[in-house]
Structure formats: structure tokens, C-alpha cells
Amino acid sequence: MSVEPFPDRPRVDAHEKVRGAAIYAADVALPGLLHAMLVPATIAKGRVTAVPVEAALQVPGVVRVLTATDFPPPVQPAGAGGPPPPPPMITPEIAYRGQPFAIVLAETLEAAIEGAEAIRPDYAPDLAFTPLIDSPGHRREPVEPITAGDAADAMTRAVTRHSAEYVSPAQHHNPIEMLSTTAFWADGVLTVHEGTQSTSGTKGAVGRNLRLEPDQLVVKSPQIGGGFGQKGTPQRQSAIVAHAAMLTGRPVKLVLPRGQIFHNASFRPRSRHRIEIGADATGKMIAVRYDADHQQSRSGQFPPAEYLEAAPQMYGFTDYHGTAANVRIDTQSPGYMRAPHPHPSCFAFESAVDELALMLEQDPVAFRLRHEATIDPIHNRPHSSNHLHSCLREGARRFGWDRRTAAPGSMTLPDGTLVGWGVASGAYPVHIHPNIATLTVRADGTTRFAAAAHEMGQGIRSTIEQVLVRELDIDPTRLELAIGDTSAAAQHTTAGSWGTGSVVPAALEAASRMKAALAELLGDRQVGGNLHRQLARVKRPSLSVEVTRIPYGQGQKELATFQQGGMALAGPFFPAFTTFSFIAHFVEVHVEPRTRRVRVPRVVSVADCGRVVSPRTAASQVRGGVTWAISAALREVTEVDPRYGGWLNNDLADYVVAVNADIGEIDVSFIDEPDPVVNALGVKGLGEVAMVGCAAAVANGIHHATGRRLREMPFRIETLL
């Protein structure tokens, strides 16, 4: 198998995107389209008792208003081991502020909006709602602890201990592409166009809600304008819109306004991380206790235990005790947002490591290099590959770390600006799902590859193209990559940085089968030209191959789950090894002496993601992850007004994200060593590890600049004054 480094080549969709030619879900034009708008509840909890629709129906252009009585009852939970129920459609019970209780359908978008604004329901509010994790009425729900060795005993042997609590706030993804669903029913088949990282998940959720068979439903998401996990799980509006299309017999399109997205999409929950680390007399970490909890809805499934996973993989300590809990309150369900657990947990843990290194008067890079992890201590298995130390050494070299003076406040610019240099590491689990791919090369010069994968802006088409074009002499300009479409191939959710590693091995094997099939077809005939020419010369219109890839440790059961649209993930804890991606970030912060404004002029990041398939998109992923980490560290928080529940700053004017002026130089490089076992190309994963630990590097840099230790993100001017 071919695992040579890949060359730097342009993205396959670059021209299409910069010209605005790429078609996103809400761009699909359909004759007879109805425009829709949801009507959100303005209570935090309770019941809608009446929805007068007359005023809305009097708005010219409004065709219909659907309320709870127009929808089938919610699907009941399947019970232990079964899949979680799909998001409910429209119900009179209100679980969170902003939940939709009606949908208005109209000939124009303007009429739909005006109709929605005309609806004034009667409510029976439940005033005893719980808006925050500390509010009365919260319910703490611990999950299974994660343990290695005996942390309590080891802690008694520690001579230096550090313990502190770190907080990561609630945050919302804000992709440029809004959440939207466009659906139509024709010839007994419902077609749904939606920006989703999971056409299979949307298909399953809509199908269960509307009681449709799998062959009655097609979901298409060929391009996504930013996913980040917001589009990874079933969306609230999908089945509502699909049902409206079936009831009216017309295509229906809904694009959620950003304010409604804040209330109905998943989000990064507020999380708290209590960490205690003990070091022995030689200054090595020997015991860790980690207690994490996070904000959760009353029925949400987003798990808290994964906060405990990354830290033990980075340092190899053998005595570890981690506990985690949900804290249930009255909110919509939180969920996956880029680097969902490792970003908050490595902010916490890598800040704690920095604090301990300072107590021990050790350089924070040298301190980390004294702790090498070669095994996963939780499962007592070797890592398949771990180049974290190479990332740290290479990062320190590129950054010029040896010019750092240790004392906080000791590095300044001539104008008095305080300079801080911070470092932190990150780890992210590697998952792989099965894939079934079809590759067709045609004599007319075209090629089609269909498989499970979603393009959300990360560049997955470019990674597939890299492999096919390197392996096969085909025309790359006429290569169709049919992904994110349940009618093209069985689909799986694309998230968790598992997309590339789950699809490029299938592309590699398909290419190798294609070469074999062509050789068989040609026999001992000598035929020149590329594959298309060769097929033409032997008068063969096309040649197709199909491959099925099942990840190591999986079998027919997982393959069947995948084919039925379910989650079928292998890893990071494989039968004989554990696989994580790693990264080291070095950050320079500048703190203005009077205003205390923090700037980040320079970041150096070195990643171990296994083999890099597309150097162009990989570097872009790391720049994006670092940018978001800086934004998370310095800017982003979604606020709750506890009197009313819901989200207060639900627009991009008040939900502040990093802009160009906040971002300086980001120097990205890769170890680019293929993992020897995880898949045929040695690809681990990158999109999320890119962000992990970088917020801690900012915090550690601020401490180095100012002597102030900040343990709750975001770090704003008022925090430092």
C-alpha cells in the first residue's frame, strides 16, 4: 500500500467556491416553493394552551399555519441500548425558550415572517424553571468514573500538589450557512435538501418522526457551509418541514434566522473541571484526580465522561481517577462543537500542568518532555503512534522557545507591552467508520466515486481526489465525487475528525481494484493513454468496482449498522491498541500595560495527525482551529438572563467572535508520519485536534506576561484590569 507523502495541490472546489458557484442546500430552486417560518416560544418552560392563527392567515400570501395538532405524537425512547429518539416536531409542551410551537407557510419569505410575527399564543408558563447549572431545580447525574491504578493512594505519596477549578462557558457555533431544510414529496418519495454532516442521521430522524420506510426518503447534502458539529446531529426543524411538505403537497423551504439557531441548535455546554495533580520528589506527575461536569438539558444525551479521556493519553501517568456528571437544567440539548470535549478539558488540564510546572520551577516544555506516554493507561494498551514529543520539540525550535526568560513579566517591548510565551499540548481520539464505495471510470473521460462522507468546508473532496489522482491516470477535472447523498451510497455521520481516515482507505482500495480490473480487461493487449483512452480503445464504455471497508476490530454487525444509517464507530480504543492524534501549540501574547488588551500576534502549531493527505486543506484546518481557540479564549460566551431563560446575545453583534484584527501569524507544520496500523494510509485525524490545547497556551502566555492566572474563559479586558 502506498503511504508516500502527498504533494501540495489546490483544493478541488476552490474555484467553484470563490465564484459562488457551489450549490448549498437552501440554494436549491424548486417550482411552487412555499417559504416557511417557525414561531418560537417566549417562555422558558410550560405549555402553549392556544394558538390563534386568524391574524396570520389574514397576511396576504400566508397559505397555512401548522400547530401541534397537525403533527403526529413524538417518538418514544427505544429504551436501554436503542437509539435516542429523534428531536420532537411541534408539541404544546415547551422545554426551553425559543422552542417552535407553530410553522407558517407562505408564498413569499416576507409573508411567512409577517405571519409568524402575527401569532400571539396563550401560555401556561412554569415559572419554576432552572436557567443555570447553579439555579434551584438543577439535577446532578453522575456517570461511570474512569480509573487507572490507585490515584488516592498515589496522591498520598505526592510531595507537590496543585488543585484548581477551570471553567469553559456555553458557546454557540456560528457557521456562515444557516440551518435550513427544503423538502418535497413526489412519487411516493420524500426528498430533503439540508446542510447536514449526517444525511443518514437526518434520514433516520425524519423517517422515524414521519413513520416512513427507508426507501421513501432521500437526503442530500453535497456541500455544507460550515458544520463544526452543529450539523452533526438531527436538527429540530427537519421533520417539521418535511411534514409540512407532505401535508401541502408542495416543496417547503425553511431557513432559520440566526437568533432562532441559537435557541434550537445544539451548543457547547458550560463545563467545570476540578483537577488535582500530585508530583513526587523528583518533580514528576504521579497522581491525577479529575472531576468534570457540564450543563445538560432534561433529556439530552451529550456525554460528559469524554472530558476525562485526553489527559491520560498525553503523559502516561498510571494513577488516575476521573469522575463526570450531567447537570440537568431547562435548556435545549447541548451537543458536539468542534473538539467538543478535548478543547475544554485540555484548556483545564494544560493550564493545571503549567501551574504545577511553575510550582516546581521547571520550564513548561521541559516539564512536559519528562512525561512520555507510550501506552494508554486506562486500557493498558500501546498507542498505535504518538509523536507528541516531536511536536513539542519541533514547535519549540520553530518558535524560538530557548530565548524565553522564565519569570512572569520579564519580557517586554520598548513601549511597555507585556510579552508572554505560553505552551500547551492537545490530544484527540481517532475514530473510523465502515465505508462502501463505488468507483466508475468511463471512456468518455469522466470518473465517479461515490462513498460515505460529507464536505463541510474541511476539504474532504480534496483528500479523496489526492488519492484517486495519485493512484490512477484519470482526468482530475472531470472527476465527480458523489458524497453526502443517501441515494449515492450508504452514509455515516461525518464528525469527530474521522471523515478523511474513513473514506480515503476506501478510495485507495477502489483505485487498486480498478487497476486490477483494467489489467484483467486488457489481458496482454498493449494499450496506451490514460484510463479513459484505454477503455475507449478497447470499446468498453465504462468500468466499475465496488469496495467495502470494515475498520479493524469491527465485523458484519457494525457493517449492517452502517448500512442502516446508524453510528458504527471503531476507536479510539481498538482491540490491541489506542489511537489519538496530538498537537503542540506555542503562543505569543501581548498585553497592553494600561488597557490590558490581549493580542495574539504569533502562534506555532505542530500536529501529529498521521499521514497528511492534502497538505493544503490540512494546514487550513489547523489555522481554523487555532483561530477558533483564540476566539474561545478571548471572546466567545453565550449569556443567559436567568429571569427569562434562553440566550441573550443571540446574534453576531453580541456573540463576539475573533475577527481578522485578532489573528496574527499562525505557523503550521506536521510530523507527517503515517500511523502504522490504524488504516491503510496511516491517517489519524486533524480537524479537531487542531484546536485542542491552544486556549490553554493563551492562558499560560497571559500568565507569563502578567503573573495573572485565568481559569475561566473567555479572558476579556475586564478580567485583566
Which residues sit at the interface with ligand MOS, rule CB under 6 A?
197, 227-229, 232, 336-338, 340, 495-496
* Cell numbers for 247: 401535508
Give the integer Cα–Cα distance in Å for 477 and 480.
9
* Cell numbers for 263: 435557541
- Of 173 and 387, the one with the shorter C-beta distance to ligand MOS is 173
* Cell numbers for 224: 455544507
- Of 87 and 227, the one with the shorter C-beta distance to ligand MOS is 227
- Of 495 and 702, the one with the shorter C-beta distance to ligand MOS is 495
601 contact partners, CB below 8 Å, separation of at least 6:
588, 590, 664, 665
Question: Cβ of residue 453: shortest distance to ligand MOS, in angstroms?
Answer: 13
- Of 43 and 609, the one with the shorter C-beta distance to ligand MOS is 609
Question: Cβ of residue 690: shortest distance to ligand MOS, in angstroms?
Answer: 12
CB atoms within 10 A of CB 2: 12
Question: Cβ of residue 569: shortest distance to ligand MOS, in angstroms?
Answer: 11
Question: Cβ of residue 460: shortest distance to ligand MOS, in angstroms?
Answer: 12
Residue 242 · residue 278 · CB < 8 Å = no
Q: What is the CA radius of gyration of the chain?
A: 26
- Of 336 and 586, the one with the shorter C-beta distance to ligand MOS is 336
- Of 308 and 337, the one with the shorter C-beta distance to ligand MOS is 337
648 contact partners, CB below 8 Å, separation of at least 6:
638, 639, 640, 641, 654
Sheet strands (E) in 240-302? 252-255, 271-279, 285-296
Residue 424 · residue 700 · CB < 8 Å = yes
Question: Cβ of residue 226: shortest distance to ligand MOS, in angstroms?
Answer: 10
Residue 189 · residue 297 · CB < 8 Å = no
Question: Cβ of residue 237: shortest distance to ligand MOS, in angstroms?
Answer: 19
Question: Cβ of residue 386: shortest distance to ligand MOS, in angstroms?
Answer: 22
- Of 436 and 689, the one with the shorter C-beta distance to ligand MOS is 689
Q: Which helix (H) or strand (E) holds 619?
A: helix 615-634
Give the integer Cα–Cα distance in Å for 10 and 7.
10
- Of 51 and 495, the one with the shorter C-beta distance to ligand MOS is 495
- Of 196 and 466, the one with the shorter C-beta distance to ligand MOS is 196
Question: Cβ of residue 294: shortest distance to ligand MOS, in angstroms?
Answer: 14
Question: Cβ of residue 643: shortest distance to ligand MOS, in angstroms?
Answer: 31
Question: Cβ of residue 612: shortest distance to ligand MOS, in angstroms?
Answer: 20
Residue with cell 397537525: 70
Give the integer Cα–Cα distance in Å for 406 and 593.
19
Give the integer Cα–Cα distance in Å for 464 and 613.
8
- Of 295 and 700, the one with the shorter C-beta distance to ligand MOS is 295
Question: Cβ of residue 625: shortest distance to ligand MOS, in angstroms?
Answer: 11
Residue 216 · residue 208 · CB < 8 Å = no
Kindly state the greatest CA–CA separation across the chain. 81
- Of 401 and 428, the one with the shorter C-beta distance to ligand MOS is 428
Q: In DSSP terms, which residues pair with 322 in a beta bridge?
A: 146, 290
Question: Cβ of residue 496: shortest distance to ligand MOS, in angstroms?
Answer: 4
Residue with cell 469496495: 547
- Of 386 and 621, the one with the shorter C-beta distance to ligand MOS is 621
* Cell numbers for 194: 439540508
Give the integer Cα–Cα distance in Å for 334 and 11.
33
- Of 40 and 175, the one with the shorter C-beta distance to ligand MOS is 175
State the residue number with the nearest CB to ligand MOS: 229
Give the integer Cα–Cα distance in Å for 504 and 406.
45
Question: Cβ of residue 377: shortest distance to ligand MOS, in angstroms?
Answer: 25
- Of 129 and 262, the one with the shorter C-beta distance to ligand MOS is 262
Specify the pairing of strand 217-220 against strand 189-194: parallel
| Alpha carbon separation from 270 to 133, 341, 641 (Å, rounded) | 8, 11, 15
Question: Cβ of residue 499: shortest distance to ligand MOS, in angstroms?
Answer: 9
Give the integer Cα–Cα distance in Å for 580 and 688.
11
499 contact partners, CB below 8 Å, separation of at least 6:
453, 454, 458, 460, 687
Classify 26 as helix, strand or coil. helix
Q: In DSSP terms, which residues pair with 326 in a beta bridge?
A: 141, 294
